[in-house]
Chains A and B, each alone.
Chain A
Amino acid sequence: MLNKPAPQLASNNASSELLKVLHFARLKHRVLFRCSPWRIFPRATRTVNATKSCVRTWNRRIYSLSGDSQVDGVCMTFLGDVGQARQFDPFVVFREGFAFVPNIVQAQSALPRAMQAHAKLEEAVVFRDGAISRIHKERILLSVAAHRRDKYCVALDSGVLSSIGVPQAQIDDLLKDYRHASLPAPDQASLEFCLKLSRNPTSVRFEDIEALRTLGLGDRAIVEVVVVAALALYRCTLSLALGPEADFKSPELPMANIETAREATLAAGATGSRPKTERRGPYVLAPFLSRSTFQPFATVQKSHGFIPNFFRAQTLRPDLLEAELDAVGLILLPEDSLTRAQKESILLAVSAANLNSYCVAVYFNLLRGLGLSAEEADQIAVDHHLSNLSKADIALLDFAVKLGTRFSEFSREDTAKLRTLGFSQEQILESIVVTALNNFSNTLQMGLGVEPDFEPPAVFEKNKMNLPSPQPTLMAREGVVHLVDTSLDADSELVAQAQSGNLRSFEELVCRHTQLIYRALIAILGDAADAQDAMQDTLLSAFKHIGGFQGRSKFSTWLVSIARNAAVQRLRGRKNMESLDDNDNQEDHDFRPRQIAAWQDNPEQTHSKFEIRQLVERGLLQLPAKYRIIVMLRDIEQLSTDEVAHQLGLTVPAVKTRLLRGRLMLREWLAPHLSTSARGATQ
């Protein structure tokens, strides 16, 4: 079956080479004929089993997290025996897809679930047949690795390409300049796109996707191109930090690869400003998948409280989605090594450093859901050094940010530093894998143009991901440095004057927000007289504490939090205190409307404004306070869901759940008054 010799192997072990040659024959058959080769190579199977001891030596040529300078030493907790490992599912997957288990996978042996996650991703992205060929996927992986100057990945991808029959001359051309590799136009264009995505993800535009479409790439192929580029960066991040020994002899990397003329043009284009009428994402079709029929969505709804658009944008490949969700579950959910909060903090800090406002907003909200305050999560996004995290956790984020975004500066000393701070091998490995997952997610999000689920945190400028070069305004006040966009809050000038003791400015400020404060108070207290008394307490308290307002949120948000505290103080004096903080239980999610009579076409025409207002006020007072305040702030004060969440210190998913429930309960209450059958009674 082999038309040419297998690639030169890094190992000198003859038996190992024989084993690889046999495996490569199988792999080549699989790639070219898209069927299992085992029926064709039963003898090869037996040979593989007979020579497994040779693999042990070959597979263990890794240096890594120990800080030991020896290259051939086994420095991590490997699975005890390769013979046992053959039963380990991820190894089976890699043998099927690569014909061997790459060293980069074995370097994750201290955390078997990390290997499982890696196998899930590789299987779905690279090994499984899709709209683009395996050969082209390998070309993308090679080109991105070459651009990152990742010798391990270049050696791996070159070796695999060679083993599946790609001429060495073409591999050399891909390493030097892909434009000379005689590729078909769609393949060349998709390679160019992947290089742009990996090099400068914030520069990717809808037009880049359209250009691929005009060359004949379908949306499914485009999703695959993006996800292969993302996986290339996942591998490169792992490779950089784990430092596995090459599986194959490393080819020389030409210097010219760093910046071809075309890439320079692309990069230059990225520094320009975005057109005002730019077409927004998502860039590809995303067929509807319901959480009630697509089990992975039900799972993510349960774990995240919502289904991020990130996942909805990939529904053209449900199998891929499933693999990603499995990988996310394996990497992020267990807390046997790092805690979930530590991992989400890594994701937030690295996404912020990557200027990915989509992911910043998601991880910000997930951290809020884990109990972190909005201020603390803000601070991690902006500058984790000034957060209240422990010295060790700050060092952990330093490590991840450097690995994820300043890869040319990363060295083994960074790993050693974490060890001296008491992090275990498993924890260091997990932080590396989480960072790799983050780079995978950030790349995928940028490539697919996924639209935000939430507004990014106030201190992280809106549309940050669209800015080619960050020019944050840094402001230091009381030891906190954060990004400030004063245009976001029209009150900032008056606030500064009031903070310096100007009573007239304070009066003007509070007059601007009278209705907001009053509605927040009545929503919590459910009584007009109480709300008016609490209003006075709120204003006095606001003046007393205005010096401590740091501008990390809008002034109105801060005022509502003062009003909320004043109202809660009053509630505590009541016999039957109503809680605003009850967790949303299953009943909240399962609430179903019972009133199914149609409503009048124009209730406003059959009822006076006064009648409508009275009906609404009575209806709102029937609602439990935790729903009432959200409906009032969202629907009467017209605040966005994100603003309501921020003002009440809730997560956005919690606000969404309560808002729907509150609206439906109010609808149930209004229905008997406004349905078609009620028309006669009210006229």
Chain B
Amino acid sequence: MITCDEFFTEFADYLENRVSAEVRHELELHLSQCRACHVLYDSSRKTIKIVSESNSFELPQNVFDPIIDRVMSKLRTERS
């Protein structure tokens, strides 16, 4: 079985689902037997999911509209 260091060197690609079938097999074998790496993988996957679904830093329409209005008004004035 691969070591935790070896697991970690492939970790970024594994999270991105960019490993070959053979590498995936080795990593998942390791995950099934190493609690620390399993926690790392599970919590990292959840982090990505939470961040992806959080809609963080969404610019509200009532903030954006005045900005676009000011910009378009300035551009129209410059043109005329």
Contact = CB atoms under 8 A, between A and B. Distances in A.
| A and B: bona fide binding partners | yes
A631 B72 CA distance: 31
B36 to A, nearest CB: 5
Interface string B43-80: 11011101111111111000110011011101110010
A641 to B, nearest CB: 7
A293 interface: yes
Contact of A286 (B10, B20, B40, B51): B20
A522 interface: yes
A620 interface: yes
B52 A635 contact: yes
Contacts of B13: 656
A20 B58 CA distance: 78
Contacts of B8: 592
Nearest to B37: A596
Nearest to B74: A540
Contacts of A290: 2-3, 5-6, 9-10
A510 interface: yes
A288 B25 contact: yes
Given A286-B22, A599-B46, A636 B71 contact: no
A55 interface: no
B57 A598 contact: no
Contact of B22 (A285, A603, A609): A285
A539 B67 contact: yes
Given A511-B68, A596-B40, A518 B59 contact: yes
Contact of A671 (B25, B43, B52): B43
Contact of B79 (A293, A503, A511, A635): A503
B39 A598 contact: yes
Given A288-B22, A536-B71, A670 B57 contact: no
A622 interface: no
A173 interface: no
Contacts of B50: 603-604, 612, 616, 670, 674
A592 B70 CA distance: 47
Given A503-B75, A663-B15, A670-B50, A616 B56 contact: yes
Interface in B14-53: 15-16, 20, 22-23, 25-27, 36, 39-40, 42-44, 46-48, 50-53
A535 B27 CA distance: 44
A532 interface: yes
A264 interface: no
Assign chain B's interface to a size class. 35 or more
Nearest to B71: A539
Interface of A is mostly: helix
Contacts of B15: 660, 663
A282 B63 contact: no
B34 to A, nearest CB: 11
B56 to A, nearest CB: 5
Nearest to B79: A503
Contact of B5 (A292, A518, A612): A292
Contacts of A675: 43
A220 B76 CA distance: 68
Interface in A80-135: none
Contact of A599 (B9, B20, B42, B75): B42
Interface residues of A, number: 64
A636 B56 contact: yes
A638 B52 contact: yes
Contact of B42 (A536, A598, A635): A598
Given A288-B2, A616-B51, A666-B47, A507 B39 contact: no
Given A287-B22, A613-B55, A292 B3 contact: yes
Given A667-B44, A674-B46, A596 B26 contact: no
Given A288-B26, A291-B9, A539-B68, A636 B59 contact: no
A617 B56 CA distance: 6
A632 interface: yes
B23 to A, nearest CB: 5
Given A514-B59, A599-B42, A636-B54, A503 B72 contact: yes
A659 interface: yes
Given A287-B22, A514-B64, A620-B56, A593 B71 contact: no
A666 B51 contact: yes
B32 to A, nearest CB: 15
A593 B67 CA distance: 41
Nearest to B10: A290
Nearest to B47: A667
A290 to B, nearest CB: 4
A603 B59 contact: no
A139 interface: no
Nearest to A523: B57
A545 B36 CA distance: 51
A482 interface: no
Interface in A581-595: 592-593, 595
A480 interface: no
Interface in A456-487: none
Contacts of A636: 51-52, 54-57
Nearest to B27: A288
Nearest to A293: B6
A300 interface: no
B39 A616 contact: no
A632 B57 contact: yes
Contacts of B52: 635-636, 638
Interface in A543-559: 543
Nearest to B29: A288
Contacts of A536: 67, 70-71
Contacts of B44: 663-664, 667
A641 B40 CA distance: 21
Given A598-B39, A604-B50, A670-B50, A515 B59 contact: yes
A468 to B, nearest CB: 27
A597 interface: yes
A564 interface: no
A559 to B, nearest CB: 13
Contacts of A666: 47, 51
B64 A670 contact: no
A148 interface: no
A657 B70 CA distance: 39
Contacts of B20: 282, 286, 309, 312-313
9 contacts: A286-B20, A288-B27, A292-B5, A515-B58, A532-B63, A535-B59, A599-B42, A656-B16, A663-B47
Interface of A: 282, 285-288, 290-293, 309, 312-313, 315, 503, 506-507, 510-511, 514-515, 518-519, 522-523, 528, 532, 535-536, 539-540, 543, 592-593, 595-599, 603-604, 609, 612-613, 616-617, 620, 631-632, 635-636, 638, 641, 656-657, 659-660, 663-664, 666-667, 670-671, 674-675
Closest 9 CB pairs of A and B: A290-B6, A288-B26, A660-B12, A518-B59, A616-B54, A667-B47, A539-B71, A635-B51, A599-B43
